[in-house]
Amino acid sequence: MRSALSRPLWGVTLALGLGAIRGEAQNITQTSSFSFSATPVSTASPSPTVPLDTPVVGQGEYPPLQYLCDDGGNATYCPTELLQDVQLSRIFPDSKTFVDKPTNGSLNDTLSAYAALPANVTVGDIETFVEQHFTGEGQDLYQVPIEGFNSSPALLDNISDPLYKAWTSIVNGYWTLLIRETNQSSICTDQCDSSLIPLNHTVVVPGGRYREIYYWDSRWIIEGLLKSELYDYAWDLLQNMMDFIDTYGYIPNGGRQYYLNRSQPPMFIQMLDAYIKVTGNTTILDRALPLASAEMEWWATNRTFTITSPFTNKTLTVAHYAVNNTAPRPEGYVEDFETVMGASPALNETARGELYSELATGAESGWDYSSRWCKQPLLNTSDNDPALRTLNIKAIIPVDLISLLSGDHALLADLYELHGNSSISGNSTDSGSNGNSTTTGGGQTGNSSSSDPVSYHRQMAQAFSESVLDLCWDPAKSWFYDFNTTSMTRSNVYTPAGAWPLWQNITPSELEGNETAALDFVSGARFLLGKYSGIPTVASVLLTGLQWDFPNAWPPHLHTTIKAFETLGRLLPNATTLSNLTIPFSEVASGQLGVTEGDLQPQPASTIGNVSLEVQEAQGKPWPLALSIEFANRYMGAAFCSWYSTGGAIDGLLTQLPLSELNATGTYTAGQSGVMFEKFNSTDTDAAGGGGEYNVQVGFGWTNGVVLWLADEYGQYLPQPTCPMIPIIEVTGNGNSSTYSNGTTVSGTGPISNTTAGGNGTSSQTQTQLFAGFRIPRPE
């Protein structure tokens, strides 16, 4: 018999109180109609990849007990012998699958069954154990239809191109795919055990393997909800975030208990501000203000410290990501175990714990993982582990984090003034009660927010702003960079994080009213606009295989970069027009990109096709607006073309590509009708991003949100989408032949109906234009 577990395990479930959910439980959902059946919940069955009598690796090499388990965690998501044996049996290809599966009996019954396994447990033993004692993942939340759905939000009126307008209407309806409510019948009490944190209000999930709420994703989800005029769902999202703070003192990475040892970029105040600006509903501030202050206090207590600047000798308030963790992440157990235990020479116990902490800290940053965090950003696209073993995240002061904290405090001061009640305490919850303190606040942290919150938050905003300008702004390179406390120098890794200070209205004096300096600031962006055919906000210019590096481009960075351009537009109200927005490498501010031109990856000619590197709609505009238009066009093109390349169609307006042409980029799955990817490829407008520890996900919440934001803000400037190697042409006659403007005729597109689908799946007005696409073979 297997020996009894060597460490205590508790079955107390950390959970928020359950509240009423809107309406009756309904088994309905799909993309865009209210008369469809539910999308079935897909659950994974064990699928061993080795003979069943193979012993599970890692037995006897278990990590130390984590504080989360001490605080009441359970064996199905805490790094214990049970979890490690199941995960390292590799009966599921994704480590997240198992930790999302509830038990089908009590925790004690599950532990007893595990203890009865043979001492040298095999893959077959684990497969049988999981099949007998666990149920399907993803059933603890269920899909619900949209209530109060508006198929014609005002944003559609701002879009000039008919294809983009109809497609945006479809994206507007995709929220139904992502709306969830807690499945009360699946909530575990004494009869079972689950990692879900049940929430009181409706949830909007990112999609794919991300089947629960996530923190920083929600910043761009709420942007889209507001553009879709789904104000009740935006309110629900904020209430869920406040429930997290009320219960834990902070907002965890996501809605599972295994995320409770870390947070994510602190976006709650940004979301709150966006909601109030759109809805004018300030009553939410009665509850939100003290909780927002409590979250800031958690960051002050657990992630903030002071440093002496090597540039000015000033004492500065800064922050970092830093997770108290000495075990593999439960949802990434196999990957973390391999990274740590596969090191050569082998790491000692202290070094193993430190690397596990770095890996969890990368997840807290949201950038899991990137060369910006590595001591040695090794260019090895086939094996991420060597680079990951050099992670140095806790020693880095991220420019985006301290910029965001400055902006948070500034907005919070504004919201206190708006509320008109400076007597609300900012210390209403025990913000340090999670036991996750890694550094103590220095200088200007503490409880001063309770006496005069406006002054306190203004002071903190100024403190972080000064730190950004002192430590992160490089006037010679005209860009913002992370600061490394190991070397006490700025990083030379160019990333879109350097645009966040301008997003948060932190502006170097050199840029104010100085168009030459401002053009230096955007010189790298202008070069990348002309270098690559896809989204220019590539996560980094280093091809490492890490998923937040080249060639991947992410929706949040497109949004924040355009917001930085908008800031420059305000700083330069008389900005000139440029005859050419793109520039050669020689005109980029010296050293800004951190590499030589020869170090950059080429743009494959096969993936440019008919994509225009500059569009007519940007010509004659002041250059900050012109850059915004160009970047918006690239993003919308990437989202649209990858959707079209995976089976998308618009009834009555745009035919689906022939099935034989749908998988040219390898991302089409039979039965798809167009998908939204979580990230994109900067060199190929048709394709999704790649790399990292899991397959590219579809859904996708923040992608949809940025599409809707851009459609509203820049839709008037969007030309008809052009997809590489997929001409989209107007159909003539009955749809059986199509003619280019140059006279080329393509036959066989087939007849097209005369109605178009609205965002709710209903047919709307008759179309006068009909379009079809076809794929030109890519050159070898």
DSSP 405-446: HHHHHHHHHHHHHHHT-TTS-S--S-TTTTS---S---SS-S
Domain count, the chain: 3
Whole-number Cα distances in Å, 188 to 106, 184, 477, 494: 9, 9, 55, 46
Q: Is 513 left (phi over 0), alpha (psi -120 to 50) or beta?
A: left
Selection from 667, 625, 623 nearest residue 642 by Cα: 667
Residue at a domain's end among 119, 137, 155: 137
Is position 11 within any domain? no
pLDDT surpasses 90 at 1: no
Q: How far apart are CA 225 and CA 219, in angstroms?
A: 10
pLDDT at residue number 609:
79
For residues 184 and 132, state if they share a domain.
no
pLDDT at residue number 611:
80
pLDDT at residue number 74:
63
- Reported as a pLDDT band with limits 50, 70 and 90, residue 435 is very low
Helices 333-341 and 349-365: crossing angle, nearest 10°? 140
Whole-number Cα distances in Å, 286 to 243, 427, 448: 14, 14, 20
Q: How far apart are CA 752 and CA 775, in angstroms?
A: 18
In contact, 258 and 69? CB cutoff 8 Å? no
Which single residue is written with the structure tokens 């749908």? Answer: 662
For residues 86 and 174, state if they share a domain.
no
Is position 765 within any domain? no
User: Could you tell me which residues are beta bridge partners of residue 611?
Assistant: none
For residues 577 and 529, state if they share a domain.
yes
Q: What is the mean pLDDT of residues 388-405?
A: 98
- Higher-confidence residue: 669 or 541? 541
pLDDT surpasses 60 at 251: yes
pLDDT at residue number 138:
86
Burial class (CB in 10 A: 0-12, 13-18, 19+), 42: exposed
pLDDT at residue number 694:
55
Is position 601 within any domain? yes
* Range picked from 189-198, 251-260, 671-680 for highest mean pLDDT: 251-260
Is position 422 within any domain? no
For residues 555 and 571, state if they share a domain.
yes
* Residue 99, C-beta contacts closer than 8 angstroms, at least 6 positions apart: 76, 77, 83, 195, 256, 258, 330, 331, 333
In contact, 251 and 215? CB cutoff 8 Å? yes
pLDDT surpasses 90 at 22: no
Min mean pLDDT across 204-208, 274-278, 763-767 is at: 763-767
For residues 514 and 549, state if they share a domain.
yes
pLDDT surpasses 80 at 692: no
pLDDT surpasses 80 at 29: no
The token pair at 762 is: 């209903």
Q: Is 117 helix (H, G, I), strand (E, B) or coil?
A: coil
Min mean pLDDT across 153-167, 336-350, 438-452, 717-731 is at: 438-452
Residue at a domain's end among 254, 281, 308: 281
For residues 51 and 169, state if they share a domain.
no
> Average per-residue pLDDT in the chain?
85
For residues 117 and 261, state if they share a domain.
no
pLDDT surpasses 50 at 342: yes
Is position 347 within any domain? no
Q: How far apart are CA 241 and CA 237, in angstroms?
A: 6
Min mean pLDDT across 267-271, 739-743, 764-768 is at: 739-743
Selection from 735, 549, 692, 713 nearest residue 631 by Cα: 713
The token pair at 290 is: 């003290």
For residues 631 and 518, state if they share a domain.
yes
For the chain, percent of residues with pLDDT exceeding 90: 68
For the chain, percent of residues with pLDDT exceeding 70: 83
pLDDT surpasses 80 at 425: no
Q: How far apart are CA 767 and CA 680, in angstroms?
A: 31
Q: How far apart are CA 273 and CA 416, in angstroms?
A: 11
In contact, 609 and 641? CB cutoff 8 Å? no
pLDDT surpasses 50 at 241: yes
- Higher-confidence residue: 98 or 733? 98
pLDDT surpasses 70 at 71: no
Q: What is the mean pLDDT of residues 166-184?
A: 93
In contact, 315 and 443? CB cutoff 8 Å? yes
In contact, 241 and 304? CB cutoff 8 Å? no
For residues 133 and 198, state if they share a domain.
no
- Higher-confidence residue: 343 or 606? 343
pLDDT surpasses 60 at 649: yes
pLDDT at residue number 764:
41
pLDDT surpasses 60 at 154: yes
Is position 466 within any domain? no
Q: How far apart are CA 239 and CA 232, in angstroms?
A: 10
DSSP code at position 369: S
In contact, 736 and 750? CB cutoff 8 Å? yes
In contact, 277 and 270? CB cutoff 8 Å? no
Mode of pairing for the β-strands spanning 728-732 and 737-739: antiparallel
Is position 484 within any domain? no
Domain span including residue 130: 42-137
pLDDT surpasses 60 at 736: no
Q: Is 599 left (phi over 0), alpha (psi -120 to 50) or beta?
A: alpha
Q: What is the mean pLDDT of residues 100-112?
A: 91
Residue at a domain's end among 262, 281, 300: 281
- Reported as a pLDDT band with limits 50, 70 and 90, residue 734 is low
For residues 154 and 269, state if they share a domain.
yes
Q: How far apart are CA 389 and CA 343, in angstroms?
A: 8
Q: What is the mean pLDDT of residues 375-404?
A: 92
- Higher-confidence residue: 600 or 6? 600
For residues 72 and 215, state if they share a domain.
no
Q: Is 695 helix (H, G, I), strand (E, B) or coil?
A: coil
pLDDT at residue number 445:
42
For residues 539 and 632, state if they share a domain.
yes
Amino acid in the structure at residue 776: I
Q: What is the mean pLDDT of residues 631-636?
A: 97
pLDDT surpasses 70 at 753: no
- Reported as a pLDDT band with limits 50, 70 and 90, residue 65 is confident
Is position 245 within any domain? yes
- Higher-confidence residue: 509 or 777? 509
pTM of the predicted protein model? 0.89
